[in-house]
Structure 1
Amino acid sequence: MKRVILIVLDSLGVGELPDAEAFGDKGSHTLDNICKSVGGINVPNLKKLGFGNIDGVNELGKEEEVIGAFGKSMEKSIGKDTVTGHWEIAGVVLDKPLNTYPNGFSEEIIKEFMDKAGVKGILGNKVASGTEIIEELGEEHVKTGYPIIYTSADSVFQIAAHEEVVGLDNLYKMCEVARNMLVGDKAVGRVIARPFVGEAPNFKRTSNRRDYALDPFGKTMLEYIKESNKKVAAVGKIEDIYNKKGITDAVHTNGNMDGVDKTLEYMDSIDEGLIFTNLVDFDMLYGHRNNPEGYGKAIEEFDSRLGEIYSKLKEDDILILTADHGCDPTTKSTDHSREYIPILVYGKNVKGGAELGVRKSFTDIGKTILDYLNVPNQLKGESFIDIIL
């Protein structure tokens, strides 16, 4: 029985795409710029997989004896957000970007939300960093109980609320109201619950975040795998990103290391199909907060766990490490960056040192996974299965 373990190192991009300037991301290179900023990172396992040998990665150093297959991919979809990147990995390419709201949401949208959610007022309604807007408006929120509404350069409608003032259930209900509203011409990729706790000025976001996505705009590799009676186990926010479509088992996580732990648990219990993990701390805690030191340490911490993952790989397993976009913590922007994503593949039957080159679309990952699992499909993309085996 064959298994694929697919881990998305959320936002760990490997250099600006040719059209990065149009997205305001010229000069972005999440991995290299972190290395430059902190004086290098110690990731021997990732280097042995070929991370430093990827074309355009210049700061890790190249390995002579590489045990994995390595390369990188362009993004075919128009966008640089979580939903767009993950959907493309699974085979869905967006010809036009999801709606963004750089000036905040319209009066019409806010009024409809207030009426349907039963709230008397809202705070914010602007583009903001999640931590900064809680610092700015958290105290007023505690006094009024009004939800804090904000967005970013991504297609998101985010609602921040104090767990002890509003309550998690009420926050989630408000998100469901917004999700049901923001479709069609007003659609956003995700509505996100952003709960926090504490007292001013020491508010702290919690791990009770929830993402409410749209159904993918096409059939994904997850659905093909599920329909072939194989398991699709989702770790972290994967279940939310695909709106549960094609998922057979799911678990949410509290940070990167918990994500690795949950992945290892699924490797003990699931014998066939796909284990699909998102490690969000890289993006949420360090990329968006422009913290290269924290980001670098998080990469090192993940690298130190790779041996545990290897130890649970069976004869016919393959491990794929990739990303969904960039989020360069060394630039002025706190938003995602339009970058290539790395592709690292390892397994007992994978050719060490095999070069994947520059793939034209993230969909090549999904196509390869389906081919490896012998699942008939009409997915877009070009499989690299013949290169790696």
Structure 2
Amino acid sequence: MRAFVVVIDGLGVGGAPDAAAFGDAGADTLGHAAAAVGGIRLPVLEALGLGNAAVAAGLRPCPRPGAVAGRLTERSAATDSATGHRELMGLVTTAPPPTYPDGFPDDVMAAVDAAMGGRGWLCNAPASGTEVVARLGPEHLRTGAPIVYTSADSVLQIAAHDEVLTPAELYAACERVRAVMTGEHAVERVIARPFTGAPGAFRRTAGRRDFALPPAGPTALDALAAAGVPVVGVGKVGQLVAGRGLSEDHPTGSDAEGVRLVAGLMGSLERGLVFANLLELDTGFGHRRDAVGYARALERLDGLLGRLVEAARPGDLLIVTADHGNDPAHAGTDHTREQVPLLARVAGAGHPHAPHRGGFGDVGATVLARFGVRAPAGLAGRPVPLPSPPGT
């Protein structure tokens, strides 16, 4: 038995019931990106049934979808990647994690500075990563003080030029900062943001690393691991779940690399779950509010996903979903509270046309049911009704 869960980071399809409470009324990542290019072309996702679950210019419903198609709604009290991935595996975050719309308090920054080696710091405010590096990068090079910033999410981000702090030194500093961000200031993630280049031409590298809090309770990954089912993380999954429940972890630098890794595992893995994150739409276009770039990148990703559909063996479970929205036409530069798509395919089987409506935890519940593993008490979600594998 094999299952492959692919999370397209930041692919919202609008319509979260509580969007207004997050300041995201009217957000629709896919719809607004498609409109920005006068209609989007996604033949692979369309054939799986994305047009049966979402409305966007150029996207058509499929009369015989190649997957169970639907929408999932988040229950957690936050809209960040760590929370989203954990709820996909059944763990709902009920208490909002700490956020810092006015920057971190003085006592926190004193502890952070000490953890970073007493170099001082720049910024300490919510900021766009690319903007803050462009603005403060020259001063950072002159003083050696790391750039510390946050966002609407529960994160503390540290940017440093690789000539000031090598990536290894930056990662070690972030690990020490992670250790002091405890109690009421236990942010979901401390994120290392290495960059390079010269003033006016700084660029962030692919060396981002997330240092997340361990999940506050059991997830479907823990249950699979306890049952002896191999679980392989691809992309930043291992960082988002703090390694919990994974037997292997394969970080990636691009979506193309992530898809290649998953396709390779489809050729070699005999049993287990592959849980993959594809992050470029979120980091490269959603946060930068580039609607046209988002649409074109999603079209390219659609072509890559065709490799996974083709590589699946009869009976394989392939789930394509997302962890939150990131509407490139919305105000600000933060994630948006949206429903996400669900496309659940059993290779070689026919799929019902009826749309599925449920919660994020349905993904983990479906995977557990597929492997015949009992869900831990309190885990959210219900299995998606799937066709039987061919030959059963």
Conserved 8 A contact 1:69-1:351 = no
Residue 275 of structure 1: SS of its match in structure 2?
A: strand
Residue 62 of structure 1: SS of its match in structure 2?
A: coil
Residue 355 of structure 1: SS of its match in structure 2?
A: coil
Conserved 8 A contact 2:356-2:384 = no
Partner of 1:322: 321
Provide the rounded CA distance (Å) in 1 between the counterparts of 2:219 and 2:333.
30
> How much does 1:309 deviate?
1.0
Conserved 8 A contact 2:259-2:305 = no
Partner of 1:362: 360
> How much does 1:84 deviate?
1.1
- Provide the identity percentage: 39
Conserved 8 A contact 2:39-2:57 = no
| Among 365, 369, 385, the residue aligned to 1:371 | 369
> How much does 1:332 deviate?
2.0
Question: Aligned in 2, Cα 1:308/1:55: closer, same or farther, shift over 3 Å?
Answer: closer
TM normalised by structure 1 equals 0.96
Moved more, 38-47 or 198-207: 38-47
Letter in 2 for 1:334: T
Partner of 2:244: 245
Partner of 1:177: 176
Letter in 1 for 2:364: G
Residue 304 of structure 1: SS of its match in structure 2?
A: helix
Partner of 2:285: 286
Please list, as runs of the form range in 1=range in 2, the aligned pairs for 1:72-83 lying within 5 A after superposition.
72-83=71-82
Partner of 2:49: 50
1:101 aligns with 2:124: no
TM normalised by structure 2 equals 0.95
Partner of 2:262: 263
Moved more, 201-210 or 37-46: 37-46
Provide the rounded CA distance (Å) in 2 between the counterparts of 1:38 and 1:156.
32
Residue 170 of structure 1: SS of its match in structure 2?
A: helix
Q: Mark the runs of 5 or more structure 1 residues left unpaired by the alignment.
A: none
> How much does 1:57 deviate?
5.4
1:199-256 deviation per Cα after TM superposition (whole angstroms, max 9, x unaligned): 0110000001100001101111111111211211100100000000101011111111
Conserved 8 A contact 2:326-2:334 = yes
1:56-113 deviation per Cα after TM superposition (whole angstroms, max 9, x unaligned): 5575121222121100011111111111111100111011111100000010000111
Provide the rounded CA distance (Å) in 1 between the counterparts of 2:259 and 2:385.
29
Partner of 2:218: 219
1:18-51 deviation per Cα after TM superposition (whole angstroms, max 9, x unaligned): 1111111011000011111111111111111110
Residue 7 of structure 2: SS of its match in structure 1?
A: strand
> How much does 1:351 deviate?
3.5
Residue 87 of structure 2: SS of its match in structure 1?
A: helix
Partner of 1:204: 203
Provide the rounded CA distance (Å) in 2 between the counterparts of 1:206 and 1:168.
10
Conserved 8 A contact 1:371-1:383 = no
Provide the rounded CA distance (Å) in 2 between the counterparts of 1:92 and 1:376.
15
Conserved 8 A contact 2:38-2:57 = no
Conserved 8 A contact 1:371-1:385 = no
Partner of 2:5: 6
Letter in 1 for 2:107: E
Question: Aligned in 2, Cα 1:288/1:388: closer, same or farther, shift over 3 Å?
Answer: farther
Provide the rounded CA distance (Å) in 2 between the counterparts of 1:347 and 1:29.
28
Q: Mark the runs of 5 or more structure 2 residues left unpaired by the alignment.
A: none
Provide the rounded CA distance (Å) in 2 between the counterparts of 1:16 and 1:216.
27
Conserved 8 A contact 1:52-1:58 = no
Letter in 1 for 2:333: T
Provide the rounded CA distance (Å) in 2 between the counterparts of 1:83 and 1:186.
16
Provide the rounded CA distance (Å) in 2 between the counterparts of 1:367 and 1:279.
21
Question: Aligned in 2, Cα 1:27/1:155: closer, same or farther, shift over 3 Å?
Answer: same
Please list, as runs of the form range in 1=range in 2, the aligned pairs for 1:330-341 lying within 5 A after superposition.
330-341=329-340
Residue 341 of structure 2: SS of its match in structure 1?
A: strand
Question: Aligned in 2, Cα 1:218/1:54: closer, same or farther, shift over 3 Å?
Answer: same
> How much does 1:363 deviate?
0.8
Conserved 8 A contact 1:356-1:384 = no
Provide the rounded CA distance (Å) in 2 between the counterparts of 1:296 and 1:143.
38
1:352 aligns with 2:351: yes
Q: What's the C-alpha RMSD, in Å, of the aligned pairs?
A: 1.4
Conserved 8 A contact 1:14-1:32 = yes
> How much does 1:388 deviate?
4.3
Conserved 8 A contact 2:90-2:381 = no
> How much does 1:167 deviate?
1.1
Letter in 2 for 1:374: G
Letter in 1 for 2:210: D
Please list, as runs of the form range in 1=range in 2, the aligned pairs for 1:56-135 lying within 5 A after superposition.
60-135=59-134
